[in-house]
């Protein structure tokens, strides 16, 4: 990116963010509710019907064709869905689909012939062809159905609401398993259709936004119209979507100088006030698009478009090539756009690894700030996310198997989004090479393009390209729970030799120790500073540095590169001969270690209100103190060698 473009980006950023939001973008951490429709607080949305395609994955979907009538006054749908597929098993005698029971099936055609079927109350739809099918045999299913979609006002499935902008709006939200609430489908993440058509017929005053390209608008009798959207990219079931309202369109191409132009198509309410207030933010999406193409690789759906349909969705949803969004706020827009790569082009193979969608989309917000504002804004955002992660002592980014039907756990803002983004930043820190980091992201994208992937797949790409083993990293930070808690104690001798003791505890017994590297920033009395890396190989590490300047203060984890809690930073005064008190915190015996013996010293122990509670004389290099009978708390040890004194802090637990 040249500096002219950078200035341009920055200008855009200033206009769109600071003027419109009127505040620093990270002073308040955007709540995941603001950029994720799933965390909209709908309590305990457990999946109601369960069908495990992994155990019944007998056929492969090639093509979905939805042809439906819809109006904005309610959630009534009528029409058909065609599914073209082929058999995967050696023999297939029963085909299973899902469709909510509130929708009535008028008829089901199998290879163009009526066939009897069972539609059970738990939403499972199944039928047996008259003759069992054999491997690779193609087939066509067409389901004619109608009814009011049953969304219980929860925002899931198919929704209709007053937009509060002089129009009503209908939209769909199918992730993670609510496609079946509005159309018959195979809800299997690992079976992407190769292409999809979505034809919606409605009153001619309405516009319909959907996946792919609008290939035709066909006038129908009685002032109706049919919008024919087609996409020729592989697509997962939950990314198929449409929105319907009296939309106005504001669309454009990305600027040519960035390479191939990308069509960005926006459907908004016909509300000039909203358009005026959002225009700069909408324009900003072309800058975001080119930034993400530079970081993640070419836009995956460049032959079609990227777009937004405004609706009353809570936050946004990354429907492939046509995101459904509540507004164009910076964090929301760039998060959803990031999903075009992480979520849409490469989709998590199971909900266990939703990190591959949401962690990376949230990290896209970091990249947006880093590149369109500045590093300090991005690091502030990272620090804010880390503080949310630390609100609870445990929880893994990986979604455990027993939580796979719990939408709230899958889309946990703290774990899947924030901790997910934080550990991606930590991977970048471990690599310490941005070219390599983005190369890994791009390789992962190209290797799994239009397919699904697991976290292990990502890890394999990372390990192969970096040559590093990330087994322990993933076990600690992805599958593992919690975070390290640190106490630091530093001192500097008169000859400027500097020592730093770092003591690590864990927020949870589930992960007792986090082997990790992290940064320490030293600030000197002359106003300068430096950063060095601490290698925490054991719970307690002590680092010695021979410096030439006096240290004024230290700051652990200065750029929020790592997830850690710093509970204490203590500094000792310089006293020749005093080295350390170990362990600290301690429970019973502590050892004071001096660099020289044969020196008479007096040790006085004070409690936290500075009342002397013990005294001891010492001559040797090693002096043992028994603190077993002291209550838990903070104590101070005053060491007096007759010429000078030093006060050391001791924590008893």
Residues that bind Zn ion (CB under 5 A): 36, 358, 361
CA distance 499 to 490: 5
Is the Cβ of residue 9 or residue 421 nearer to Zn ion in the bound state?
421
Q: Is the dihedral of CA 131, 133, 138, 143 positive or negative?
A: positive
Closer to Zn ion at the Cβ: 36 or 404?
36
Looking at the Cβ atoms of 295 and 652, the one nearer to Zn ion is 295
Q: Cβ–Cβ contacts within 10 Å for residue 106, how many?
A: 12
Peptide bond into 585 cis (omega under 30): yes
Between 175 and 489, name the residue whose CB sits nearer to Zn ion: 175
Using CA atoms, how far apart are residues 522 and 548, in angstroms rounded to an integer? 12
The CB-of-358 to Zn ion minimum distance in angstroms stands at 5
Measured CA to CA in angstroms, residue 408 lies from 13, 237, 349, 553 at distances of 33, 20, 19, 43
Closest CB to Zn ion belongs to which residue? 361
Structure tokens at 175: 């992730």
In the complex, minimum distance from the CB of residue 372 to Zn ion, in angstroms, rounded to a whole number: 19
State in angstroms the smallest separation of the CB of 624 from Zn ion.
Answer: 56
d(C-alpha 375, C-alpha 277), whole Å: 27
CB of 417 to Zn ion, least distance (A): 7
CB of 361 to Zn ion, least distance (A): 4
Separation of alpha carbons 34 and 416, rounded Å: 15
Cβ 37 to Zn ion shortest distance, Å? 8
Instruction: In angstroms, give the least distance from the CB of 517 to Zn ion.
Output: 30
Kindly tell me which of 361 and 431 has the beta carbon lying closer to Zn ion. 361
CB nearer to Zn ion: give 369 or 551.
Answer: 369
Nearer to Zn ion, 36 or 291 (CB): 36
CA distance 262 to 304: 8
Distance separating alpha carbons of residues 440 and 446, to the nearest angstrom: 10
Least CB distance from residue 342 to Zn ion, whole Å?
9
The residue among 353 and 358 lying less far from Zn ion, judged by its C-beta, is 358
Tell me how far, at minimum, the Cβ of 389 lies from Zn ion, in Å.
17
The values of phi and psi at residue 239, to 5°, are -95, -5
* Dihedral of alpha carbons 139, 144, 150, 151, sign: positive
| Residue placing its CB nearer to Zn ion in the complex, 36 or 143 | 36
Using CA atoms, how far residue 619 sits from 577, 593, 600, 641, in Å, is 12, 11, 5, 10
Query: Please, what is the minimum distance in Å from the beta carbon of residue 475 to Zn ion?
Result: 25
- Select 358 or 641, whichever has its Cβ closest to Zn ion: 358
Burial of 183 per CB tally in 10 Å (0-12, 13-18, 19+) = buried
Minimum CB–partner distance for residue 335 and Zn ion (Å): 6
Report the alpha-carbon distance of residue 177 to residue 174 in Å, rounded.
Answer: 6
Closer residue to Zn ion, CB minimum distance, 244 or 361: 361
CA pair distance 653, 648, nearest whole angstrom: 16
Report how far Cα 297 is from the mean position of its chain's Cα atoms. Answer: 19
Which residues are within 8 A (CB) of 338 and not within 5 positions of it... i.e. 6 or more apart?
Answer: 292, 296, 360, 361, 363, 364, 365, 367
Closest CA to 651 of 605, 587, 580, 573: 587
């Amino acid at each position: 990116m040249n500096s002219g473009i950078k200035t341009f980006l920055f200008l855009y950023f200033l206009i769109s963010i600071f003027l419109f939001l009127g505040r620093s973008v990270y002073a308040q951490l955007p709540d995941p509710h603001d950029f994720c429709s799933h965390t909209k607080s709908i309590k305990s949305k457990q999946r109601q019907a369960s069908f495990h395609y992994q155990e019944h994955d007998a056929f492969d979907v090639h093509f979905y064709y939805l042809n439906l009538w819809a109006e904005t006054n309610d959630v009534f749908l009528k029409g058909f869905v065609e599914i073209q597929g082929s058999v995967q098993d050696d023999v297939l005698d029963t085909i299973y689909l899902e469709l909510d029971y509130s929708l009535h099936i008028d008829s089901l055609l199998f290879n163009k012939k009526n066939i009897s079927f069972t539609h059970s109350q738990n939403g499972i739809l199944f039928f047996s062809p008259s003759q069992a099918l054999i491997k690779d045999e193609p087939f066509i299913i067409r389901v004619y159905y109608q009814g009011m979609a049953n969304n219980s006002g929860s925002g899931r499935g198919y929704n209709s609401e007053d937009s509060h902008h002089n129009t009503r709006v209908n939209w769909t939200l199918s992730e993670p398993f609510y496609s079946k609430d509005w159309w018959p489908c195979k809800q299997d993440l690992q079976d992407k259709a190769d292409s999809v058509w979505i034809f919606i017929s409605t009153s001619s005053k309405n516009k319909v936004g959907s996946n792919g390209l609008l290939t035709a608008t066909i006038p129908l009798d009685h002032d109706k119209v049919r919008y024919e959207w087609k996409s020729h990219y592989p697509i997962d079931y939950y990314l198929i979507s449409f929105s319907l309202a009296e939309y106005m369109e504001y669309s454009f191409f990305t600027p040519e100088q960035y390479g191939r132009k990308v069509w960005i198509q926006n459907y908004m309410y016909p509300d000039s006030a909203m358009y005026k207030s959002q225009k700069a933010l909408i324009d900003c999406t072309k800058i975001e698009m080119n930034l993400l193409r530079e970081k993640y690789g070419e836009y995956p759906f460049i032959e079609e478009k990227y777009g937004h349909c405004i609706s009353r969705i809570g936050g946004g949803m990354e429907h492939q090539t046509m995101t459904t969004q509540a507004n164009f706020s910076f964090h929301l827009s760039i998060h959803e756009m990031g999903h075009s790569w992480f979520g849409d082009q490469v989709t998590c193979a199971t909900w266990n690894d939703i990190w591959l969608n949401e962690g990376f989309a949230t990290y896209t917000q970091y990249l947006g700030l880093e590149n369109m504002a500045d590093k300090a804004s991005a690091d502030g955002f990272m620090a804010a996310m880390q503080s949310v992660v630390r609100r609870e002592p445990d929880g893994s980014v990986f979604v455990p198997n027993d939580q796979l039907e719990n939408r709230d756990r899958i889309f946990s803002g703290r774990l899947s989004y924030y901790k997910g983004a934080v550990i991606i930043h930590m991977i970048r820190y471990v690599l310490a090479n941005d070219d390599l980091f983005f190369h890994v992201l791009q390789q992962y994208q190209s290797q799994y393009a239009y397919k699904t992937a697991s976290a292990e797949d990502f890890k394999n790409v990372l390990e192969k390209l970096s040559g590093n083993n990330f087994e322990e990293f993933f076990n600690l930070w992805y599958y593992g729970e919690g975070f390290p808690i640190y106490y630091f104690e530093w001192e500097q001798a008169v000859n400027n030799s500097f020592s730093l003791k770092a003591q690590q505890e864990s927020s949870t017994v589930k992960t007792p120790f986090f082997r990790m590297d992290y940064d320490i920033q030293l600030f000197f009395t002359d106003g300068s500073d430096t950063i060095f890396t601490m290698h925490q190989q054991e719970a307690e590490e002590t680092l010695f540095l021979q410096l030439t300047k006096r240290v004024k203060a230290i700051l652990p984890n200065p750029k929020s590169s790592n997830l850690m809690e710093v509970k204490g930073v203590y500094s000792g005064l310089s006293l020749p001969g005093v080295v350390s008190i170990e362990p600290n915190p301690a429970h019973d015996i502590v050892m004071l270690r001096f660099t020289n013996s044969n020196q008479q010293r007096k040790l006085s122990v004070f409690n936290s209100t500075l009342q002397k509670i013990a005294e001891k004389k010492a001559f040797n290099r090693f002096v043992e103190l028994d603190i077993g009978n002291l209550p838990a708390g903070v104590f101070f040890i005053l060491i007096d060698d007759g010429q000078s004194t030093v006060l050391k802090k001791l924590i008893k637990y």
